[in-house]
Each structure stands twice: as C-alpha cells, then as structure tokens.
Structure 1
Amino acid sequence: MADTPQTFDTAQPPDYGDLTAVYVNCTLKRSPETSNTEGLIDKSRAVMAAAGARTSLIRAVDHDIATGVWPDMTEHGWESDQWPVLYSQIMDADILVLCGPVWLGDNSSVMKRVIERLYACSSILNDQGQYAFYGRVGGALITGNEDGVKHCAMNILYSLQHLGYAIPPQADAGWMGEAGPGPSYLDPGSGGPENDFTNRNTAFMSWNLMHLAALLKRGGGIPAHGNQRSLWDAGCRFDFPNPEHR
C-alpha cells in the first residue's frame, strides 16, 4: 500500500507590512567585531522581512548608554547619554526583541543595562493613561556555549511583561554549543545555523511576535480600562473592592 503523500497548508501567509520590529543586540563585542548573536538575529529578521515587516538592529555596546534609573541621565549629572535616542527608536517599533549571549549562566552586563534603562522609562504614560509600553510585543534570542538559554530568556521576558509588553506563546529561541570552551554559533562546524530545534523555535517566535503585534496594532492595543495609571492616581478604582465601604 502506497504511503499517503504529506500535505501542507499552502494558504497565503499573512501580510505584515504595517509592522516594525527592533532587535537590540546586547553582545559585549563592539562593531565591527563578529557577533554570534547577530547570526541568529539575522535568521529571525529574514522571517519577518519575508512577511513584509520592517526591521532594524541596534548593537547596544556601540552606544554611550549611561547607568541610571531616569529616562535621560544628562539631567542627573552624566555628561552624555545616548539612551533617549535609542528609546525613541524602540518606541517607534511594534516589536522589541532583546538578544544576547550567556555569560556565567546569565545575561550579559549590556543586557542588564538595557533592561534597567527600559525600566527607567516605565513611568511614562501613553495618551490613554496606560504605561507607554502597552500595545507592544516582546521576545528574546540567546546564544552561547554554556547552559543558560531558558534562564536568560525567563529574566528578559519577565522584565518585558512587567514593563507592559505583551508576550506571545513561545516568545524565545536560542542556541547552545557543547558545555565548556568550544565553537560559537557562527564558527565553522558548530552546527548552530543548521540546528533544526533552534531554527524551528526562531521561526515560531518570529511569527508569533508578528501575529500578536498585528492583533494589538489593528485592534487598537490593550483595552484602556482597569489599567490606566492616570485614572488610578485620580482616585478611580475600577471596581476594586473598597474596604471603607462594607
């Protein structure tokens, strides 16, 4: 008996030409040094580009990002701070993907600084009185040759949702080489670019980020009720039980 031919869904894929995504590479290597993380970023960007989405890339270490907890640290004693320019680029995008290497089982110091500066802007509100990051979608890409992908992604995705980003299913992907010193993702013979598990997760992440971003953008974002900081500060409690009225 002949095997039944395998069939695939050939429906026209969605057109996401109205979406924009920004990838922030938190490698420790300045340009033009090769970043293995950027090799994986390029694969995700290719998936999004094929769907019509416009993408851009920021290598954070190439910029003078001050340490601190305010949107612009030049207003708090620092001589220079390029974060406000980067923040503007991030806010222009529907999708933010934070990407980086694993160091000692954790995210890089550059990743930590980027997340700290995102948090520094978390008090800014949108026109509806919600936190400014509402209506945007976040994901994570990780590379390295030691264990830690899930730990790093967990920290990134928790941080993004805490700030107001929406997180779709399977919003992270990564590649790990053998434990200990060994080839990195882009090194010849590493097997990284050919790894089916990594490629599948990267594709799923990229599409899920676009799917959710499109739903939010075309649907008007997160509904503005019960989550408006401006109204809470004005005394509105959105049906939250008031212990003064029993």
Structure 2
Amino acid sequence: MASRFDGLKALYINGTLTPSPAESHTDTLIEASAHVLREQGVEVDVVRLVDHHVAPGVQPDMTEHGAERDDWPQIWQRVQAADILVLAGPIWLGDNSSQTRLAIERLYAHSGELNDKGQAVFYGKVGGALIGGNEDGLKHCTGVILHALQHLGVAIPPNAEAGWIGEAGPGPSYGDELDDGTRAGFDNDFTQKNITFMAWNLMHLAAILRDAGGIPAEGNLPEEWEQGSRWGFQNPEYR
C-alpha cells in the first residue's frame, strides 16, 4: 500500500558558508530531518547555495540586470517542483548567514508571480526552518525565515522550526565528534523531538494541501483585488 506521502517533493536550501566537498554541520542537520521524510516516501532534494554562482538581487534572473552569471534560475526550477521548502543554515553573530539571506532575497524575486489559480506562486507549498550553530540565536534565525516564507505565501505548519545550538558559548557544532567518541547533539532529546515533529507536520500539511488541490482561490487573488474585489472587507466608520 502506497504511503499517503508518496509523490511529495521536499527541497532543503542549505545556507552554509562551507563549499562542497567540505563537511557542513548544516548538512548533518538536514540529513537528520530528510531521513524522516525519505522513510515516508517523500523525494528529497538538497541544494548547497554556496556551491552555485547566485548573484545578489531581487530579480528572477540577475543576468538581465547587469550580472555576468546567475545560477538562480536553475535553482528556482527546483523550488517550483517542491511541495515542501525548508531553509536551513548556521548562526553567525546571532543571525542567519549571508547565504541564507541571499536565498530569502532571491525567493522574494518571485513574489509577484502567480500560480494557475491567480494566487501567489508560493501558495500550496509548505515551509520550515532548520538552524544549527554553537551560539545563541536559534529562535531569532528561525523566526526571520518563517516570517519571510509565510509573507511570500508559503504555508507554515505547527512546530515548523528545529535546530541545535549546544551550550551557550563556544563549543561543538551539531555532529562534531566529542572526546568520548559520540557526536554532539545526536542524543539531544530537544533536537531529536523538534526535528521529528517538524518533519511530520511538514508532510501532514503538504499532503493536506495536495489532496485539497491547494488553498482555495477565494479572497486571495491579487489581480481581482486590483480590479475592485474586496471579499467582505469594509472600512470602519470614523466619526
């Protein structure tokens, strides 16, 4: 019997600053999450943004705006194919990495595009945030990511954030080998639980939206709003 999650596709965008083939702690976190999805039949794709020449900017193709090269259009095709979109990355000085911010900016370049229902092109996708590091900033970084995704039109399920920061202050990152031969974070119940809850809730909501044909196209169509539709909105009376 086929899993109810068969046919779903997930894309993790890794905002590490470490190019391949060097080890990325964020990739280790991604793999912990992606394993849960793969076990349920979800097809998983991972892109390490730093391995590509992605130009800065907020246009779909920055070669049309002065850049000599821009790999984002090819990555955007992978975003379009995904039902689940997770932005993952490290913490630097309490904030998201430059690569994670770059991913958000390039996703925003498509904020004016519409799907075949006339909704924002991100409608029907489900999003989450995955953050690692060895300093404070987990909630701030995931909050920025989740706000950006929902602003674009991505649906955010409950408990859609997970990560590892270890003890406060400099220390091991997720997956680092410790003196006793264990790997940092692998036995941390908080991280294990949040990764698992996040993975299942992403799948649940993605399957719900897929089976329902996406979010109903009522009260959320930009072009109809521009043409005067208000779907029940009424300005309050000021006396």
TM-score when normalising by structure 2:
0.94
Distance in 2, Cα, partners of 1:208 & 1:13: 19
Task: Give the aligned partner of residue 7 of structure 1.
Answer: none
Q: Deviations 1:37-76 (Å, cap 9, x if unpaired)? A: 1111101111001111110100000011111111111111
Distance in 2, Cα, partners of 1:15 & 1:203: 17
Task: Give the aligned partner of residue 57 of structure 1.
Answer: 46
Match of 1:206, as an amino acid? A
Distance in 1, Cα, partners of 2:219 & 2:111: 18
Structure (1 or 2) with the larger CA radius of gyration: 1
Task: Give the aligned partner of residue 85 of structure 1.
Answer: 74
Task: Give the aligned partner of residue 8 of structure 1.
Answer: none
Cα offset for 1:32?
0.5
Question: Aligned residues, how many?
Answer: 233
| Among candidates 159, 166, 189, match of residue 177 of structure 1 | 166
1:44 aligns with 2:33: yes
Task: Give the aligned partner of residue 165 of structure 1.
Answer: 154
Whether the 8 Å CA contact 1:13–1:51 is kept in 2: the answer is no
Distance in 1, Cα, partners of 2:117 & 2:2: 33
| Among candidates 126, 138, 142, match of residue 137 of structure 1 | 126
Alignment of 1:149-228 (within 5 A): 149-189=138-178, 190-228=183-221
Give the SS at the match of 1:57.
strand
Give the SS at the match of 1:68.
coil
CA RMSD of aligned residues (A): 1.7
Distance in 1, Cα, partners of 2:2 & 2:95: 36
Give the SS at the match of 2:184.
coil
Cα offset for 1:174?
0.4
Q: Deviations 1:140-162 (Å, cap 9, x if unpaired)? A: 11000001111100000000000
Q: Deviations 1:72-100 (Å, cap 9, x if unpaired)? A: 11111111111111011011000000000
Match of 2:232, as an amino acid? D
Cα offset for 1:187?
1.1
Distance in 2, Cα, partners of 1:161 & 1:33: 32
Unaligned runs of 5+ in 1: 1-11
Whether the 8 Å CA contact 2:172–2:184 is kept in 1: the answer is no
Whether the 8 Å CA contact 2:173–2:184 is kept in 1: the answer is no
Task: Give the aligned partner of residue 34 of structure 1.
Answer: 23
Distance in 2, Cα, partners of 1:82 & 1:167: 27
Distance in 2, Cα, partners of 1:144 & 1:13: 37
Match of 1:101, as an amino acid? P
1:113 aligns with 2:106: no
Whether the 8 Å CA contact 1:140–1:157 is kept in 2: the answer is yes
Distance in 1, Cα, partners of 2:159 & 2:18: 28
Moved more, 145-154 or 234-243: 234-243
Distance in 1, Cα, partners of 2:233 & 2:147: 25
Moved more, 13-22 or 205-214: 13-22
Match of 2:131, as an amino acid? I
